[in-house]
Amino acid sequence: MRFVRWRKVLRDLVSHRFRTVLVVLSIATGIFAVGVVMGGRAILLREFNAEFTASVPLNADFFTMPFGDQIVRRARAYPGVAEAMGRHTATLRYRWPGSDAPRSLLVVAIKDFHDVTVQRIVPEDVRSWPPRRDEVVLERAALQVGAYKIGDTLVVETRTGEKKTLTVSGFAHDINAVPAQFIGAETGYVSFETLPDISEAESYNELLVAMKGTDLTQREASLLAEDIKRDVLGNNGIAVLGVYVPKPGSHFLGDIFKAVSLLLLALGLLSLLLSGFLVVNTVSALIAQQVRQIGIMKAIGGRASQVTWMYLGLVGIYGTLAVVIGVPSAAWAGKRFIQYAAGVLNFRVSSYVPPDWVTALEVGVGLVVPLLAAIVPIRLGTRTSVVRALTDTGVDSTSFGHGIVDRALGLLRGLPRPVALSLRNTFLRKGRLLLTLTTLSLASAVVMSVFSVQASINQTTDDLDAWWRYDAQIRYPQPTAQAATERVVASTPGVTGVESWIGALATLDRPDGTTMEGIGLLGVPYNTTFIAPTVLAGRWLQAGDTDAIVVNTDARQAEATLDVGQRVTLEIGGEARVVRVVGLIKGQLSGPALYMDRAALAPLLPQAGITQTLVKMASSDSAAQRSVLDVAENRLEESGYRVASTRTQAELRDQIASELGILVAFLVIMAVLLAAVGVIGLTGTMTINVIESTREIGVMRAIGARHGSIYRIFITEGLVVGLMSWAIGTAAAYPMSYGLTALLSGAIGLPLSYRFSWTGVSSWLGIIAVISVMASALPAFRASQVSVRDAIAYE
C-alpha cells in the first residue's frame, strides 16, 4: 500500500490483459525481427569468416603435369609463400545405387592427411581417418544432393575405362570445396595408395599455394603466381595447364554471401524502423487512452513528474516483458536460420551466441525505443491541462486536417451509414493511421518486391532458355573424334540434332606484360542454330572470320581490354595470336567466355578433335531428356569414347535457379518477418480503435445496432487500411524491386533480367484483404461482446 501509484501501474497491466499482450507482442516482434536478422547476419559472417580463415584458403592454384615433393618443398621455401601443398585431383564418372544416372566425383588424393596445410579438411563423421585404401570420404555437401551413407559403394570409371569400387567411409567438411549442389559433382577424399587402383598416377597434379601478407591485393597475388609458375614449376620442367588466382580472402560463395548479408542488413534496418513505428504507435495510443486518468491524478495532487514516472514505469514493464519473450525467441529462430544457411552454404557453426552488440540492440529495441517513444506522448499527456484532460473524448477535435477530412467525406454522401461512419473513424485517427499505414505499406512493398525478384530470376532463366536452342551437352575429358561421336549420339533414339564444339583455355597477354590465365574459348560453327546469342555491340561471327572473336558481358566485365574493335593477344595452344574483338554478347550466367569460329580455332590447337557435343531432343520433358542422355552416354562408352560429364540444360537451369533460390529463400524470410510486423501493427491499431470506441459502440447498441453492424464497421475500417497500404505498397514496390534486383545482380555479379510481378501484386491483394479482416475481426468481436451498460460506463 506504500506506493499505490505503482499498484495502479501493475493493476493496469493485469486488468487490460488483451492490451498488455498486444503491446508486449508488438515490442517483442520488433526485438524478434531485429534479433533474428541482425544476429543471424552477425553470426553468419562471424562463423563463416572464422572457419574460412582457419582453413588457410589458397591464393594460387596451379593445375600441372605430374610433380613430386621436391617441387612442393621449393614452393614452400619461395619468398612470399606461407604454405604450399601438392595433391592429385581427377574428375571421374561414377555410379551409385542411390541414383539411376552416372554422376561426377571430384577425387582429391592427399599423401598425408595429417599435414594438410592449405585448404584444411575437417573429418566430421568418419569410420576411419585418413581414408584407407579404396575408401572415400565424401565432402558433406553431398548429403544435400543425395542420401549417401557410410558403407555405400561408388563404382567409378577410371581413365582407362575400367570400373573400380570405392566404399564411402565417412563425411568430412571442406569449406573450400564447391558444394555438390552448385556444380553437380561430389567431392571425395582418398589416400594416395588408392590412386593406382583407379588408374591414376601416384603424383601431384595440383599445387595449392597460400601467400604471406594479410592485405594482399589480387595484382600482387597474380604477380607472385607468375613468378612461382616460372621459377618453381616451369624452370623445373613442370608444364602448367592453368592457374587460378582468386581475389585474396574471398570465398567462391563470397558474392552470394555479400548479397545475403546486404539483404539481411537492409531487412535489419527496415525491421528496426518498422518496430520503432510499431512501438511509437502502440505507446502513444496507450497514453492517449489514459489522458483522462492522467487528468484525474493531476486534479487530486499528482505532479506531472510523478505521473510521467508511472507511465514510463508501465512502458518499462512492457519492454522488459517483451525482452524476456523476444530475446530468447529471436535466439531460437536465429539458430534455425543459421542452421539453414550453414546447410546451403556449407559451413560449420561453432557458436550460435550472438555478439554483444546484437543483444544490446535487442534490449535497445525492447526498452530504449519504447521509452523514447513514450516520452513525447507522456509529456503531452501530463502537460495537457486538467480541464482538457477531463473533457478528453479520445478524438482530438482541434487537430490539423479535421475539417478537410470531414469536408472530403461530405462529398461521399451517397455511402451507406456504417461505411461512412467507418471511413470517418479511419480518417480521424490520422496519426495512428499514418504510422500503421507506413508500417503496413512498407511491409507490402517488401513482400511484393520479393515476388518481383522471384519473377526476375524466372525471367533470367527464361532468357537462358531462349539462348539455348539445344537440350543437353556431353563433354569429353580430351579432344575426341567429331564425326564418330556425332554419329553415335545422333543415332540415339530421341535425339533430333547434334553439333560439336571445341573448348580450350586461352591466356590473355595484356600490354603491360601481365596475363590473364584460363579464359574459356569456345569454337562454335559461325552459323550455329544451337544458340541464339543476344548481340549487344558489334556483330556475331560470320563465314571467313579467321581472327575474330566475340566476347560475352562477363568477359568484358572481367577484362576491360576485351572491348569491341580492340585487337588483343591471346595465347592459344601455346602460341600468341592477335585477334580482333568483333562483338559483345549477353553473358549466360556461366562466367567469362570468348567465341571463335570452330573452323578458325581447330587448326590453332595442338590436338585435333572436339570437346563437347550439343544435343537437340524430341522430348521437352526433363526426365525423358535425362534418360536419352544416359543412353547416349552408354553408347559412347561402348564405342570407346570416354565422357567427362553430361547435363541437360534443364538441370543446369535448375542448378542456377537453386543458387539464386538461396537468395529468394532469404528474401521470403525477410518478407514474412516484415509482414508479421505489419499485421501485428494493424491488429494493435484496430484494437486500440475499438477500445477507444467502446462508448460509441455502447451508444450504437443502445439505439439498436446489431452485432453484425458493429462488426462490419470495424472490419471495413481494417480493410480500408489494408487496401490503402496495398495501393501505396504497390507504387513503392516498383522502384524497390527494381533496386533490389539491381543490388542482387551487382552483388552476385550476374546480369539478372528484370520483371515486375503482377501475380505478386494480385496475390498480396488477396492476402492483405484476408489479413486485414482477421486483424480487425478479433477486436471487433470483443467489442460486440461488451454490454451496453459496461460500454457506456467505460472509464
Binding site for another protein (CB under 8 A): 1-5, 7-8, 11-12, 15-16, 292-293, 296-306, 383, 385-387, 390, 398, 793, 795
d(CA 275, CA 269): 10
Are the C-beta atoms of residues 736 and 441 closer than 8 Å to each other? no
* H or E segment and range at residue 476: strand 472-480
328 prior amide bond cis, ω within 30: no
**Per residue in 273-299, is it b (16+ CB within 10 Å) or e — as a string?**
ebbbbbbbbbbbbbbbbbbbbbbebbe
In the bound state with another protein, the residue whose beta carbon lies nearer, of 12 and 509, is 12
DSSP 8-state secondary structure symbol assigned to residue 142: G
CB of 302 to another protein, least distance (A): 4
In the bound state with another protein, the residue whose beta carbon lies nearer, of 3 and 512, is 3
Are the C-beta atoms of residues 391 and 296 closer than 8 Å to each other? no
CB of 382 to another protein, least distance (A): 9
Cell of 374: 513514450
In the bound state with another protein, the residue whose beta carbon lies nearer, of 9 and 506, is 9
CB of 680 to another protein, least distance (A): 25
Contacts 24+ apart (CB under 8 A), 785-790: 786/694, 786/697, 786/698, 788/698, 788/701, 788/702, 789/698, 790/698
Residue ranges of alpha helices (H) inside 693-757 are 694-702, 707-748
Question: What phi-psi label fits residue 462: left (phi over 0), alpha (psi between -120 and 50 degrees) or beta?
Answer: alpha
Dihedrals φ, ψ of 186, to 5°? -85, 150
Angle 590-591-595 (CA atoms, 0-180°, nearest 5)?
A: 95
How many other CB atoms are found less than 10 A from the CB of residue 477? 16
Bridge partner list, 105: 92, 186
SS3 content of the chain, % helix, strand, coil (to 5): 55, 20, 25
CB of 295 to another protein, least distance (A): 8
CB of 3 to another protein, least distance (A): 6
CB of 396 to another protein, least distance (A): 12
CB of 794 to another protein, least distance (A): 8
CB of 786 to another protein, least distance (A): 13
CB of 301 to another protein, least distance (A): 2
Dihedrals φ, ψ of 571, to 5°? -90, 115
In the bound state with another protein, the residue whose beta carbon lies nearer, of 299 and 360, is 299
Are the C-beta atoms of residues 432 and 285 closer than 8 Å to each other? yes
Q: Cell 477530412 identifies what position?
A: 405
In the bound state with another protein, the residue whose beta carbon lies nearer, of 332 and 794, is 794
Q: How far apart are the first and last CA of the chain?
A: 23
CB of 383 to another protein, least distance (A): 7
CB of 386 to another protein, least distance (A): 4
In the bound state with another protein, the residue whose beta carbon lies nearer, of 212 and 303, is 303
* H or E segment and range at residue 168: strand 163-173
Quick check: helix, strand or coil at residue 633? helix
Bridge partner list, 121: none
CA-nearest of 507, 486, 458 to 760 is 458
Bridge partner list, 109: 88, 190
d(CA 110, CA 137): 12
CA-nearest of 508, 533, 521, 503 to 594 is 521
d(CA 600, CA 582): 15
CB of 779 to another protein, least distance (A): 19
Quick check: helix, strand or coil at residue 560? coil
The dihedral formed by the CA atoms of 417, 421, 424 and 429, expressed in degrees to the nearest 10: -170
In the bound state with another protein, the residue whose beta carbon lies nearer, of 46 and 379, is 379
- Give me the amino acid identity at 694: T
Q: How many CA atoms lie within 13 A of 387 on its CB side?
A: 0
In the bound state with another protein, the residue whose beta carbon lies nearer, of 521 and 688, is 688
CB of 790 to another protein, least distance (A): 8
In the bound state with another protein, the residue whose beta carbon lies nearer, of 7 and 149, is 7
CB of 16 to another protein, least distance (A): 8
Quick check: helix, strand or coil at residue 363? helix
In the bound state with another protein, the residue whose beta carbon lies nearer, of 17 and 413, is 17
The contacts of residue 693 (CB under 8 Å, 6+ apart) are: 425, 783
The contacts of residue 301 (CB under 8 Å, 6+ apart) are: none
In the bound state with another protein, the residue whose beta carbon lies nearer, of 13 and 558, is 13
CB of 393 to another protein, least distance (A): 13
CB of 384 to another protein, least distance (A): 10
CB of 728 to another protein, least distance (A): 34
- Give me the amino acid identity at 535: V
Sign for the pseudo-dihedral over CA of 59, 63, 65, 67: positive
Are the C-beta atoms of residues 691 and 289 closer than 8 Å to each other? yes
Are the C-beta atoms of residues 586 and 751 closer than 8 Å to each other? yes
CB of 14 to another protein, least distance (A): 8
Cell of 693: 470506441
In the bound state with another protein, the residue whose beta carbon lies nearer, of 293 and 745, is 293
d(CA 460, CA 754): 8
